[in-house]
Structure 1
Amino acid sequence: MNKRPLSPHLQIYRPQITSVLSIMHRITGVGLTFGLLLMAWGLWALAHGPSAYEGFRDCATSPLGKLVLIGFVLSLSYHMLNGVRHLFWDAGLGFKMEAVRASGWAVVIFSFLMTAFFACFYMFF
């Protein structure tokens, strides 16, 4: 077995906003896949009668179901806003580091604001 030391890059690397947002874009993409499966379950239950839909509704309105739904909305809003950010990059706009950092923080802030708006709407209406 080889006893060479491992490269220290992960131990000394300081995460940057760009790398964290890139990783989060991938994670939210996977989360949206699972959220789509839950939406498909809801549509399946809706198509299979009141008792099937009641079971889905009971799961979706439980505290854990509400938390999952809010997480899905956070993933959706983040992924959508970061996708718009990438569209600007595809057009050749916003490549300076100041613009990259500012747009990254804007994506994070507006994602949480959109999710908070949805959560308030969902909880009170």
Structure 2
Amino acid sequence: MQLNDLKKILATSSQDEWIVDDETGSFTYKNDLNLRIERAEYDTYRNFDEPWATKHPDSSSKAVEYTVKYGSSFIERHTLVSVDGHRATLPIPKSINDLRVKPSEVNFARIVDMGNRVEEYLRRSNIVVNDYE
């Protein structure tokens, strides 16, 4: 499999196409069991205090690392933010003042978000999905 193929899968697949083990934070792609996403251990989560992330009823938010691997090879790492007491997982916007995220980043969040509330929390956070450069 080529790197571009992997990136396309991450940008377009749905959570239904993955074997999900929320307890261990493991996501395995059903159509190629060599492709997987691993969520970092809970004790490595970092506080994340940008206003868009802390404006929810539960103001706690945490930065969480996700590592994409193919077989034993590292492919890429994504940092997402768990907001509102872990009710949703969102991509980090371009900057604290520029609340745009790329569609591919939103799709990655949809794959790993266990509450299926990404769109709801993007709206709540005033984050705009935009294919910027």
Larger radius of gyration: 1
TM-score, structure 1 normalization: 0.22
Which structure would you say has the larger RCO, counting Cα contacts within 8 Å and 6 or more residues apart?
1
Greater helix fraction, Structure 1 or Structure 2: 1
TM-score, structure 2 normalization: 0.22
